[in-house]
Structure formats: structure tokens, C-alpha cells
Chain A
Amino acid sequence: MSEGASGIKRRDFLKVVGVSSAGAGMVGCSTEKVEHLIPYVVPPEEITPGVATWYTTVCGECPAGCGMWVRTREGRVVKVEGNPRHPISSGALCSRGHSSLQGLYDPDRFAGPMVRDANGMRQISWEDAEQLLADRLGDGDYLFLTGSTGPTLGDLIDGFVSATGGTRVEYDALSEAPLREATRLAFGRNVVPSYDLEAARLIVSFGADFLTSWLSPVAHGRGLARMSSVDENGGEKGRLVLVGPRLSLTGQNADDWLPITPGSETLVALAMANVISGGGNDAGPYAEIVRAYSPQSVSQATGLSADQITELAERFAAAGPSLALGPGFSGQHRNATASNLAVLVLNFVAGNVGRTVSVNDPDLGSASAPYRDMETAIRIMAGGGAQAVLVHGCNPVYSLPAASGFAAAFEAMPFKVVFASSMNETAEMADLILPDRHFLESWGDSNPRPGLHALSQPAMQPVPNFDSKQTGDVLLSVATLMGSDLGAATFYDYLRTSWQRLLGGSGDFETAWRDALKNGVLETGVSSGGAASLRSPDAALVFDAPAFDGDGDFHLMVHPSARFGDGALNANRPWLLELPDPVSKITWHSWVEMNPHAAEGLGLRDGDMVTVASEHGSVEVPVWTYPGIREDVVALAMGGGHTGAGRFADGNGVNAMALLPAETEEPSGGLVNLATRVSITPTGERRPLATIAGATEQHERGITPAVALAELGHQEEGEAEGDVHGQLKELQGVGGFVPVATDGEPADFPLPGAEYGEYVDAHDGPRWGMAIDLDKCTGCSACVTACQSENNVPWVGENQMIMGREMHWMRIERYYETVHADEAGPVDIRFLPMLCQHCGNAPCEPVCPVYATYHSPEGLNVQVYNRCVGTRYCANNCPYKLRVFNWYSYTDQIPEPMNMQFNPDVTVRDEGVMEKCSFCIQRIRAVQNRTAVEGRGMSDGEVVPACQQSCPAEAIVFGDVRDENSRVAQIIQNERTYRVLDSTVNTQPAVSYLKKVTFHDVESGAH
């Protein structure tokens, strides 16, 4: 062996090899970083690869404070869900909550602290940044503008400003100040009332959009669904009446609509109180005021007849517990406090206070600060009364009306500090940016109502791409640098100290702390505030209809977006941008809502660009015609028109605040919102709307039939199903075909008559099915985002949406049945969550040439992505149009670190393949695997798909329809059950719908 066949000596050979390897090694030393794969040497105790770890926390998206479960895999957050133990969310979550993941992994988050110098922003270290902040704050007075914070962080900020000589200004873009002030005036309690929707039998909403943005949308969604749906016996259905100029999503769920003149809610509420209190006699201290507003006297100003008001008032009084909900943010006009007060008086005279309205438990823990403080702050800034300004948790440059002068005053400040996790319009002007952690990476707590506390905990290590630090920690170390001690070294310690007080001396703190973290919620006793009684009215308050600026033809209603809320800090999220707006079904861009008649008068169609101009500013925006808005009103949603909020948010739509005056409502000090008239001028240009709505009516298809309440329980057996099927079978029989032997019960699988082919091997296992109760569905679209998050569904962008290439596996269809904006009457708008129907007789399956779609033995219609060639034949043949195609490799455009969000249990699809709802097959398999390991059978309700899991209205139930005792099997045994298009095309879907129940008569069957 010492000498090779070619005569090379072993030694020489080794020398050559050695030198050349060294050479190769040298060459390899390029500037490129070498990535090392290092396995866990000592695996973290809590992480089992392939098994999810869950943490509880509190959703930080809005002040409602829903409890959250955070699903992590291998140390990364991949999904958030509602915490079932938390009384506010009860396991559900809204779209905005789901989208918080995209806030966490926002690619436009700050990489680290930055300071402004001559050349723009420059990265610095945290030490330098904190030192700089400490130095500058020592110079003199400063302002600390904060958005909504948890109680402990709020305490810390208060402590910080008092120790370091600053002033705190609380600012909430969606402030409920008029409601709070009205409650204080009415009952002497400075709280936002909480409402029990479920207990009411009749709800009158004076425009409050409580399903998407007002107070606590998830809790309200569940409350409304429970209130307004028929129970299993078809009885006890509560009614929702909307009084207001526009149908928001809440309005679309109403049974009756009284389209009143904008701003006249006060008059209607007082006139109703007048009727109920016998002309004002029973209105206590308000007797004098209520007496002045009889139905006859307000009829002219409200646009309703006296009879309509009287009738509504009588129903309101007779309904048992009823509930009137204040105008909300979109009705915040110049007399908004009076409006809210009128609604509270109405509730009081109807005896609802203490039953459905509680002024003992404020719904919001932190005081929503009025605009007046902000105005003062702007004055201070403009007048040079402060040396520095700190901003946390809000984006006033964007969310205040341009007329307020905030931006100019802020820009002129010598030292501006912004604590934010990602770029926004305010941060763009900052001199020092201190990247905050996302709430999923940080400690915190919430106190959404007295007696209810919850902890936020970091569910993962901070996203490694961003060098962030929790604001609480920054404040503590800056305070230390400035020589004050706030009592803790880190915010974690501060929080624990604060909770030590809360948990009290009783028992072991560590155990209680761990339990609070584990459960995600802590309920303590609450002292009753005693019965509320009306106090004497404030003489200064004016109850008349408010004034409007300008002389345009239309009142402008600026309302919180049903997707974003105010959109100040959460607009850079493709999931929300691409979520079809629950009302308009438009994605990405802004639109102005106009009544079709009004649009016709101006010669406008959907997609025509118009200039909306008020005395304060103007915007250019496309028209969307909507029968659910009065002819003299146009509406714009907040949340669009960002200029510095990141790559996804910027350039979409317009900022409606540009049209508003900067005016304070008296006496609450909130921002006046419904304040101006606008003119609409066509620009002559058009743009296609990025909408998913192909048609707004059912065109006699019977897609979402409804049944009148009076008809329930009277249907003869078999009458509900048309005879079409029988005739069809007869015809097939003549032609020699063997028809399917039965109409196909949902449990039938394989189908009778299908002895051949792929169905033959079906076993006796489960037959998965779903029931969706359309009487409960509110169209809030939380399921759509939940599904997108669970199933790695990509977003496609505005242009692709315009082309009609949405990728959502679910869509909420919306059909108008009865909508009249010119007279009071019933309103009937139907929602239908449409997803793959997993047909028992699926039209998509036989046409696929390569078996990329086939039927699983458990009755699922499954899609094999790897086998798909992309002929799109299946999508053509799907009558429900729920197969979506990857026209491009959409997932390739997803920037780092957003890909960290991908659910590792679900494949990421490449270009050229079809995809669709899988009934969350990964969850089915996970449960099957677990039960197999544990050696037991699956129990009903163990498999919960993402859509069901997230539904605030509890409209979706999934399970094994073959198991007679399963919930889904029992629910579909209902006279309201129908299956979409089944009688037309014999698809035998696994998804059963329960018809919506209406109070007014509907044509049964087809409609």
C-alpha cells in the first residue's frame, strides 16, 4: 500500500492532498458569512420538535382586552387563538387579533434604536440611546403622549413622568369620551358602561358599530348572536333595530332600519323616552327635557314619522329587557355627549339600567382620553413650552385631523422620541426611535373591567431580526440614569410587584402567579357600586341636532374601519389589507360609500373617481354605491392613506381625517367626527375596485334562503325540499342512467349507488361535516383571517385582487334582499360563509386528469398539491367557486421574517397548483394521532377547525355527522337546514347551512 499503481508515493500523495485542501480552505475564506447548523445540545425543556407549545396572553390590538392563546412551534409564534377561559373573548378572536402575528413579523419593524443626525437616521446602541434620552429629558419639561396601555405600564409611565418632570397626555384615536362623560353626567360615574347584549330581547343601536370597532367587538358579536338567533325549538329570537344614517356591519345584521337624518339620534332617543315615560313624567330629573321632545315635534328633523317613533318606543318598552346603544364613534358630532346622554336616559326610562346596561363595571380599564388634552399638548408644543416630546402607542400625525396642526407643532419640537415597534408617520419625524417590543414579545397586563385581570407574557424570544426593547424596561433604565428609582430594575419585576399587590398576601405568590399565567385570566371579586339613578341634568347641555360645517350636498360620515379600527398602527398587514371589508367587500384601497340614487344623480358608477372636498381638505377616492346609506350622506372609512407605515400600508387609499375639522366636543372633550358636509365632484377618471363581490343579489339561485319566524315549526315533512330532484331522477331513469338512490343524507358515505371506483373502500370511520348557522353569522370575517393564518394562505396584492385572484379559502358572501334607505322598514342582508363544501358527489373530482383531487375515506375532498398539474378544470366545475389557484409563486414574495409565521403542519404551496379548504385536515390528523397514542377514540368536539375556533358568533360547528350523538349531527336535524345548490346540481355537500330567520315575510324556498 505504500506505493500506488501509478508510482506516486503515499507520502507525496498526502502532501498534495494536504496542500490542495489548505488551498481550498483559503479560497473558502470569502467575505460571505458561514452559516453553522447547530443542533440542540441540551434541548429546551418545553420544546418538543413537532409539538406545539401554547402560552396565554392578552391581545394588544384594541382596548377590549381579549384573552389569547398563542401557539408556538420550535420557539416561534405561528398562530393566535382566543382563550376559552377568558370571559371577554371566550375562545374567539377577531381578524385584527389574528393579524397581530403580522405585526410581530412585520418586515418594516425597526432593526434597532436610531437617532437622527445630519444625514438622516443612524443606528445606535441601546446604551447610547438611553443615555441620550436621559440627557435630553433632564433639560426641562417634556410631554409624554401615550395611547392605550395596560394598567401596570400606565402606572409606570405615570411614575416616570412625575419622577422626571414631564407631563403625560393620554390619547386614543377612537375615544369614547362622550359616552364616558354622558355616563358621568347621568349617573355620576366616570365609566364607560358595559352592556349585556345577550340578555336583551330588543336592541336599538343608534349607529354604534359594536360588531367591528365599538368597545368590545368579540364579546358583542357573541352577545348579539346569542340574543338574535332562534334556539333549538325555534323560539325566543331577539330583534336588532338600527337607527342611523348608514348600515355598518352591525346595521347589516339588523332586522329593521330607521334611516334618520345624520345627527338626529338624540331626538329619536328622547322622543322614544318621551313615549315610554308617558310624556316625560317618569323620566325623573329629565322630565322637563324629555317632555320637550315628543314624537311629533322631532318627526320633521329626524325624517321619521311620529308613528314610527312611537311604535319603536312601545316595542322597546314592551320587549322585557331591551337595550339602546349609543351613537358610537361614527356618530360623534358636535352634541355627542347629549346624544349619549339621551340614549342613557332612554335606557333608564325603559328600565334597562341594571339589567342590560351596567354602569358599575366599566368596560374599559384605562380612561379613554379626550382630544382636549391633545389640543393643549399641541399648544404647548407650538408655544415652545416643552423641550422634548415622547410618543408611545399612538400615531397622532396620522390619526389626528390635518387641521389640528399636530404635525407642524411636532416637527418643530427640538427633541422627538418615538417608542414604536415599526415605522409610522409619527416615527418618521422622530429624532430618536426606541423600538418597542410587540405585545407577543413582552410583559404586560390588562384590566378590561373591574375584577378581571389578565397577564401578557412573551410567547417567544424577540424576533431576532429586530433589536427591540420593551418600553417599560427603557423607562426604568432611563429613570435610573436620571437618578430616580421607580422600584424595579426591569419591567418584569415591576409587573410582579404590581401583581403581588393584586394577588394579595394570601397563599403562595409564585403559585398564584403561575396560575395566572397559565389560565391567562384572574377574576377577583368586585364591589357593587349600588343602584344607579339619574342625576339632575347639566343645564348647559344642548340636545338639538348638531351643526355641520360647509354647504356641500352630503354629510360626511367618517367611521372606524371594520378591519383596522383607526388603522394608525396596524395598517401594514397584508392579511387585514386583503381581508374583504365586511361591509363593502373591497380590499386594499379606500372608497367612498354613496347611495345608488345619489350616485345616479351625479352620473357616477362604482369605480368612478371623485373628489370629496370639505372646508378642511379634500381627497380623491373611488365611489362604491351602497343601498345601505342615506342619499344625503357619504361615508369614508378610517385606516387608509398611510404615507410612512411600511411597504404594505403606504399608498393604499386615503386618510379620511384630512376632511375633518380639529374641534373638541363639549363637554366631553372628545374629537368631533360627524361634523362636516362635503361636495362630491367627479374627476372623470375610473379605477377598478379591488372587490370580491361579483353580484350583490342571489338571482333566484336560493343560495341563502331565509325563513320567516312565523313559518318556523309549521313546515310539513318534506315540503322544504323542492321536487326538482325527483323529476331529475325520473328523467335520468328514462335515459338508462342509475340515479343516486337517495337525496344523500349528510351522513351517507359512500353514496348509495356508488359501488364502483374510489368510493368503494370507504370505511366505517367518521364522515366529517359542518353546520353553519346563518341566523348567527354576523359576517365579521374573523374566520377568514383565522383560516389564512392557520393554513399558510398567501396574500396576492391589490392588482391580483382586481384581477379576481383572491386566495382565501373562505369568503363571506353578502347578498342584499331588502334594503331601503329612504324609508323605515325591515332590512334583510344575508351573509354566507362559503368554503369548500366537501361534496359527497363532488364535481371537481372526476374531471381532474391526474387524481390531484379525490375523496378521502372520511368523506373529505382532498387536494394533493404535489400531484396537481394546474389544468384548473376542477375550479371550472366547482359550482361554489371555492377552489383557488396559485397564479404565481405567491409565497416567494413574502419577505423575511414573515415566513416565520408559517404553520409547519401545513404545506406552503408553489405556483401552478390548485388549493382549497381542507377542513383543517392537519388538526384532524393531530387529534387522530394523539388519540391513537392514548389508545382511545376521538370524542365529539375534539377536532376544531380554525374557522370554528375563531367564530365569535358560535355559528360554525364541525364534527362527525355519522355519529348521531355529535353536536353537528344534532344541529343539522333542523327544519332550517339546507345545503347550497344541492337540489340543483346534486353535489351533496358536507356543509349544511341553517337558514337565517327573519321577522318579516320572505318568499320561502328560493329566497
Chain B
Amino acid sequence: MAADLSRGALTHPDIQSLGDVNRDLLKPLGRPGLGWWMLFGLAAAGVGLFFTSWGYQIVKGIGVSGLNGPVGWGVYITSFVFWVGIAHSGTLISAILFLFRAPWRQSIYRMAEAMTVFAVMTAGLFPLIHVGRVWHAYWLIPYPNSRFLWPNFRSPLLWDVFAVTTYFTVSATFFYLGTIPDLAAARDRAVGLRKKFYKVISLGWRGTDREWHHFNKAYLFLAALAAPLVLSVHSVVSWDFAVTIVPGWHATIFAPYFVAGAIFSGCAMVITLAVPMRKAFGLEAYLTTKHFDALAKLCLLTSLIVLYAYMSEFFMAWYSGEPAERQAFWFRLFGHYWWASWTMLVCNAFVPIMLWFKRIRRSVPALFVISIFINIGMWFERYVIVVTSLSHEYEPFAWGVYRPSLTEMGILVGSFAWFGFWFLLFTRLIPPVAIAELKEVLITPMRGDRTAEAAAGEGGQA
């Protein structure tokens, strides 16, 4: 495996020894500073806002949202799709790039996977927030009951239930499995209560050959299992829209379009999260500009696919000759929500043009700014798809516009806090870069003549 893994590996010239790796990467697990506590306090407050808003909505009724007659889906479904999209790049980076042996993933995939798990945890709440009677939401689960009532397997919402729960199960398992050797490394350094904690969650990892053998097999299998999910989940989510007859939703391009968009937004989110972490934890040696360059290229590629999808949508709307379809897209660009559509186009199609330049791809501050733009643009992309299409459907007399309410805004902001809450905990509890795998790709002289396995296993032996 050594030869395979080192192919195209990115170099980390600033890392002097394997011991440095353990030292640098386990450092974040130490005592958190004031900055972390402040951020964590902010996130906790946001979580409070999130659940207060939701609770208020449950008590008062879904009417506290701004949703209305024609526009029955709004910020909640937008955010659901957004967070599911964010969840994509994690598995892409960890599973697909693992299978394709793209070694630049090593430094970044742990963060991406954590992001995936937390993003699905966030996304999964939105359908519950969205429904009118959340206390009956369990009816969407096919469970045996005395009335022989089953859910409707033709409904894409039911497919969503399966797609999202499957994705969460697999990505969480995959994430956890990958952390086990690193948790063992953390255990070996920790003392007191922390040691007990890591002891339990590292499942007694010792780093034996036998364990490594099984681990690698399991990892490979899970990667293979997770890989198709990257494509399937967002395809299913896109079918929520594509199988309907709503002009602006009903399009065959939706599945690839959504998957590309998801990867686009996910990679942007990885950049958004990695840049501050790199700075805060001094990981410059591990997350080099070359990693960012690779992520930026992925963004550029998916941005082009998304742009193609936009153009294809507009072209097909015109080419169909169907007035409802044509006017829906005209409305999208020049109607009531023109600002949302143009935000989407500028952020997702025009701003990423800068990524053609190598200098920008290698400039961390520039990438950070661009990634923020992409995050905003991708949220608005879903907003535009969901809201503008519904507000101008077939029946002109029933056209109407929707304005999000304060409660919806509270929940939207709160969802970022909820995500941040978990992510902040992650930075302090789990090594944010995969120690064992990183060691595998360090340049050979540093490893001496030891095998990759042995080098990686050092985490367990130290």
C-alpha cells in the first residue's frame, strides 16, 4: 500500500519528525483557551435561540413562519437542502478520494467528515421543524401498527427519510471508525477523566498488525459503501423537486445538478472551516496551500457544472415553449426575487472564476473570502429554487410572494450555531487531522526504512 499511498502525495516540508505530528495534532485536545470558550458560548447561545424559536413555533403553530398559500416551502426546506449539501463533501473527500487514492485528502478529511456528520445532524432537524404537526412526524417511518397503515412509498419525502437516515448512519460510522487509531493516540497522552473517556471510545485499540489489517479492510469496505451514497442522497433530495410538476422544479437535470452543487458547497464549507482552524491550532505545516489548491480546483470544477446546470435550466425553459415554464424562469431573474437569483449567480458562477488563477488558489485569505461567497450563493440557490418556483406556478391568480419571518431567521441562524456547537466540541475532543494516515504519506526519509503500517502504528505505540 505504501507505493499507492505515496503517489502524488503532498509534501509537508516543515514537519521534522513523526513525533512532531503527534505533538502538533494532539495539542488542540489540551486545555481550551478563552477564544474557544467565547466561541463555544456564542454557539451555545445560538443553540438556545434555535430551540427557543422551534419551541415557540410548536406552541404557537407553524403560522409563525412566513409561509403562505402558494409558497408552502421556504427557509426550512432551503436550509434542509443546504445542510444536506454541505454534508456531501465530507464523504466525497474521505470515501471517494480514498478509493481513488488521492493522497491530498489525508490532512483534510477528518474535518470534512466531522462537518458531514454535524451537517446531517442539522439537516435532519429541518424536516421536523418544517412539518405542521411535528408530533406526528414519526408516521413517515414504516413501522408495523395495528391499523396496517403504511407510508406512501411513492412519495419522495419518504425516500428522503431513508436517504438521510442511511447517510447519517453510514457517514457517522465511517467517521468514527477512522478516528479509532487517533483516539488511541490521544488516550496514550491523556490523563485523568479524559483518559477514561478516550479509553472507552478508542475501543481498546493497540495498533497490532491484526488490528491494522482488520481496520484497513473495514475502512475500505465502508468507503465503498459510502461512496454511492454521495451520489444517491442528494439525487434523492433533488427528486423532492424534480418529480413534481412545479415549473422550475420539474427537470431531469436535477440529480446531477444537485450533487455537483452539494460538492461545491461542501468543499467551500471545508475551506471556510479549515482556514480558521489552521490558524488557531497552528496547523500550517499540515494544511499546506497545496491542499487548499486541490480543494479550490474541486470547487472550480463543480462551479462550472453548476453554471452549466443553470444555463441548461434557462435554455430548457425557453426551448420548451411552455409559457408557465418560461415565465417561471423570467420571474426568477427579473421578478420579485431577482436579488436572490443574482446573488446566487454572482456567488456561484462569477466569483469562482477567480479560482482559475493559481495565485488566488494558493492564497488562503482569498480562498476564505471566496468560500464564504460560495456558501452564501449556495444557500440562495436553494432559496431561489424552492421559493421563486412556488410563488409563480401555473395559476396566475394564485401567485403570491413569501417573506421569511423572524422565527424562521432565528432557526436559520440557530442552525449554524447548532452545527458550530458540535464542531467546536469536535475540535477539542478528536484530533482534527488524521494522525495515522498523515504519517503514511510523509516523505520516506523521515520514516526511515519502516513500513507505512509501522509508522502509522506509532500513534498507538507512543
Please report A residues at the B interface, Cβ cutoff 8 Å. 692-695, 697-701, 703, 757, 800, 803-806, 811, 813-815, 832, 834, 843, 846-851, 867-873, 875-877, 879-881, 884-889, 911-914, 981, 984-985
Q: Which of B60, B68, B390, B397 contacts A695 (CB 8 A)?
A: B397
11 further A-B pairs in the complex, CB-CB below 8 A; given A757-B154, A869-B132: A693-B397, A694-B400, A699-B323, A805-B63, A843-B245, A847-B244, A848-B152, A850-B152, A888-B61, A911-B132, A912-B133
Q: Which of A813, A814, A815, A984 contacts B322 (CB 8 A)?
A: A984
Identity of the chain A residue whose Cβ is nearest the Cβ of B65 in the assembled complex: A887
Q: Which residues of chain B in 81-135 are interfacial with respect to chain A, using CB atoms and an 8 Å cutoff?
A: 127, 130-133
Which of B73, B152, B245, B396 is close to A697, meaning CB atoms less than 8 Å apart?
B396
19 contacts between A and B (CB under 8 A): A694-B396, A694-B398, A695-B399, A699-B323, A701-B394, A703-B397, A804-B400, A849-B151, A851-B152, A868-B132, A869-B131, A873-B157, A873-B244, A879-B245, A880-B395, A881-B69, A911-B61, A911-B132, A981-B395
Cα(A246)–Cα(B106), bound, Å: 76
Instruction: Determine whether the beta carbon of A881 is less than 8 Å from that of B132.
Output: no
Neighbouring A residues of B66 by C-beta, 8 Å: 803
Question: Is the beta-carbon distance between A885 and B323 smaller than 8 angstroms?
Answer: no
B69, B322, B390: which has the most chain A beta carbons within 10 Å?
B69
Q: Note all chain A residues with C-beta closer than 8 A to B152.
A: 846, 848-851
Tell me, yes or no, whether B18 is within 8 Å of chain A by CB: no
Q: What residue in chain B is nearest A702 (Cβ atoms)?
A: B323
Given contacts A869-B139, A912-B62, contact A981 B394 (CB under 8 A): yes
Q: Is B238 on the interface with A (CB-CB < 8 A)?
A: no
Bound Cα distance A847, B153 (Å): 9
C-alpha spacing A813/B399, complex, angstroms: 12
- B140 and A850 within 8 A (CB): yes
In the complex, what's the smallest C-beta–C-beta distance from B234 to chain A, in angstroms? Answer: 18
- State whether B62 touches A694 (Cβ < 8 A): no
CA distance A884 to B68 in the complex (A): 9
| Distance between Cα atoms of A847 and B155 in the complex (Å) | 4
Asked whether, in the complex, the Cβ of A984 is within 8 Å of the Cβ of B63, the reply is no
A873 near B155: Cβ-Cβ < 8 Å: yes
Bound complex: CA A805 to CA B140 (Å): 26
Bound Cα distance A806, B137 (Å): 25
Q: Are A695's CB and B72's CB within 8 A?
A: no
Least CB separation from B132: chain A residue = A870
Q: Does B34 contact A (CB under 8 A)?
A: no
Given A885-B132, A984-B322, A803 contacting B68 (CB threshold 8 A)? yes
Report the Cα distance A175→B71, complex, angstroms: 45
Residues of chain B within 8 A (CB-CB) of A805 are: 63, 68-69
Given that A804-B70, A847-B157, A869-B139 are contacting pairs, would A879 and B395 also be in contact in the complex, using a CB cutoff of 8 Å?
yes
In chain B, residues 412-445, which have Cβ atoms closer than 8 Å to a Cβ of chain A?
none
Is A811 a contact of B139 with CB atoms below 8 Å? no
List A contacts of B240 (CB < 8 A).
873
C-alpha spacing A23/B150, complex, angstroms: 52
Task: For the complex formed, measure the closest distance between the CB of B339 and the CB atoms of chain A, giving whole angstroms.
Answer: 19
Q: Which 8 A-B pairs have the closest CB atoms?
A: A870-B132, A912-B132, A694-B399, A887-B63, A872-B72, A804-B68, A881-B398, A695-B396
Asked whether B327 is an interface residue with its Cβ less than 8 Å from the other chain, the reply is: yes
- What is the CB-to-nearest-CB distance from A974 to chain B, in angstroms, rounded to a whole number? 24
B137 — which chain A residues lie within 8 A by C-beta? 869
Is B261 interfacial (CB-CB < 8 Å)?
Answer: no
Residues of A within 8 A of B60 (CB): 888
In the complex, which residues of chain B have a beta carbon less than 8 angstroms from the beta carbon of A694? 70, 395-400
Q: Are B395 and A881 in contact (CB under 8 A)?
A: yes
Q: Mark B32-45, 1 if CB is under 8 A from A, else 0.
A: 00000000000000
B75: min CB distance to chain A, Å:
14
Contacts of B156 in A (CB 8 A): 847
Chain B: CB-nearest residue to A735: B252
The answer to whether A849 touches B244, judged by C-beta atoms less than 8 angstroms apart, is no
CA distance A876 to B140 in the complex (A): 19
Among residues of A, the one whose C-beta sits closest to the C-beta of B247 is: A879
Chain B contacts of A834 at CB under 8 A? 395, 397
A699 vs B156: C-alpha distance in the bound complex, in angstroms?
Answer: 30
Whether A699 lies near B327 (C-beta < 8 A) is yes
Chain A residues whose C-beta falls within 8 Å of the C-beta of B73 in the assembled complex: 872, 876
Q: Which residues of B contact A847 (CB under 8 A)?
A: 154-157, 243-244
Q: Are A848 and B393 in contact (CB under 8 A)?
A: no
B160 to chain A minimum Cβ distance, whole angstroms, is 8
**Residue B298 at the chain A interface, CB threshold 8 Å:** no
From A867, A876, A885, name the one whose CB has the most chain B CB atoms within 10 angstroms. A876
**B133, A870: Cβ atoms under 8 Å?**
yes
Which residues on B sit within 8 Å (CB–CB) of A695? 396-397, 399
B149 within 8 A of A: yes
- Chain B residues within 8 Å of A692, by CB: 397
Residue of B nearest to A695 (CB): B396
Contact partners of A886 in chain B: CB under 8 A: 132
Q: Is B23 in contact with chain A by the CB < 8 A criterion? A: no
Closest Cβ–Cβ distance, residue B452 to chain A (whole Å): 48
**How far apart are the CA atoms of A885 and B63 in the complex, in Å?**
10
A981 to chain B, nearest CB (A): 6
Chain A residues with CB under 8 Å of B243's CB are 847
- Known contacts A803-B66, A848-B152, A869-B136; decide if A703 and B131 are in contact (CB<8 Å): no
Interface residues of B in 135-178 (CB under 8 A from A): 136-137, 139-140, 149-152, 154-158, 161
Q: Would A887 and B67 be within 8 Å (CB), given that A869-B136, A984-B324 are in contact?
A: yes
**Which of the residues B139, B151, B245, B402 comes within 8 Å of A877, measured between beta carbons?**
B245
- Are B140's CB and A806's CB within 8 A? no
Chain A positions within 8 Å of B409 at CB level? none
Contact partners of A913 in chain B: CB under 8 A: 132-133
Q: What separation, in Å, do the CA atoms of A870 and B140 have in the docked complex?
A: 11
Q: Is B131 within 8 A of A871, CB to CB?
A: yes
Are B397's CB and A912's CB within 8 A?
no
B246 at the interface (CB under 8 A from A): yes
Q: Mark B233-260, 1 if CB is under 8 A from A, else 0.
A: 0000000100111100000000000000
The answer for the CA separation of A880 and B390 in the assembled complex, in Å, is: 12
Q: Which of A815, A887, A889, A981 has the most CB of B within 10 A?
A: A887
Distance from B165 Cβ to chain A, minimum over Cβ atoms (Å): 14
Q: Which residue of A lies closest to B69 (CB)?
A: A804
